[in-house]
Every structure is written in C-alpha cells, then in structure tokens.
Amino acid sequence: MKKSDKRHIASTLIRRIWIILGSLFLGLGILGALLPLLPTTPFLVLSAACYARGSERFYNWLLNNRWFGNYIRNYLEGKGIPWKSKVATISLLWITIGCSAAFAVHSLTIRIILIVIAIGVTAHILFIHTLRQGKEIPQE
C-alpha cells in the first residue's frame, strides 16, 4: 500500500470520527432543549465545530437548519439569543430543578448541588448577549 493511500484512509477515518462526534453532540443538544439539566448551546456549538472539521455538507446543513441554524449562527457570531428564549430557558430550568429538589431528591447535598448548577446556568444565560427583534442589546 502506498503512503498516499494510507494518508487517504487515515484522513477519511478522522473525518468520519468528527462526523460521528458532531452527530453525538447534536443529539445531546437536542436532548438539552428538552431536558433543563442538559445544556443545549455548548453541545450545538460542539456539533458545529465537529462538523466543520468532518464534513462541509453536515456543517452547512446544521447552520442552515430551520430549528438550530439561526440559534447557532447568532451564538457563534456573538450576537446572542432572543429574550424569549432566555426567559423560557430560565423558567423551565428553575421549575424542573425546583420540582426535582422538592420531590425527587432526598439528599440535602444533592439538592444544594442542583441549586448551585441552576444558579450557574442562569448566570451563564443572563450574561449571553440578548437579541430583540433581530438586534443585539448590549450587556453592561
């Protein structure tokens, strides 16, 4: 086998690994949109980064996707996320954490950890720039 053939095989394998990782992170991002304890944005951004390294077609598909495309592009470009998304995310986060801490978790330590996570996620979301009607609202 020629040296160039080996490089081509290795390159193809690496690209496929990036695509698999991108798909895994996309799946986690979709789950994160449904489950408040799982973050959405970092997984979608990781998915875009993996697809960018593995497949231009997958990367373009993700950035032009009708559900995630604008969200990812706005985040990657530093434009932020819409106010409604922030309110919905934080509300759902606290409702879920509150119900979990009150009814599903019996350990005080775990309850404290859940609340600390919720505070951290809330702070992160609040510090992301806010988009209102397609325009960025500066953060102070």
Lowest mean pLDDT among 21-30, 32-41, 130-139: 130-139
Residues 64 and 87 in one domain: no
Q: What domain range includes position 116?
A: 80-140
Residues 3 and 70 in one domain: yes
Residues 107 and 98: beta-carbon distance below 8 Å: no
Residues 72 and 44: beta-carbon distance below 8 Å: yes
Residues 73 and 44 in one domain: yes
Lowest mean pLDDT among 47-51, 67-71, 84-88, 122-126: 84-88
The residue-averaged pLDDT of 4-24 equals 87
Location of structure tokens 């119900």: 99
Give pLDDT tens digits for 90-126.
888 898 899 888 898 899 999 999 999 899 989 988 9
For 59-96, give the DSSP string. HHHHHT-TTTHHHHHHHHTT--EEHHHHHHHHHHHHHH
What's the token pair of residue 44?
A: 């979608």
Residues 83 and 131: beta-carbon distance below 8 Å: yes
Query: Residue 85: pLDDT band by 50, 70, 90 thresholds?
Result: confident
Give pLDDT tens digits for 34-66.
876 677 877 888 899 999 999 999 999 999 999
Query: Residue 133: pLDDT band by 50, 70, 90 thresholds?
Result: low
Count of structural domains, the chain: 2
Residues 66 and 11 in one domain: yes
- pTM over 0.85? The answer is no
Residues 22 and 46 in one domain: yes
Residues 84 and 70 in one domain: no
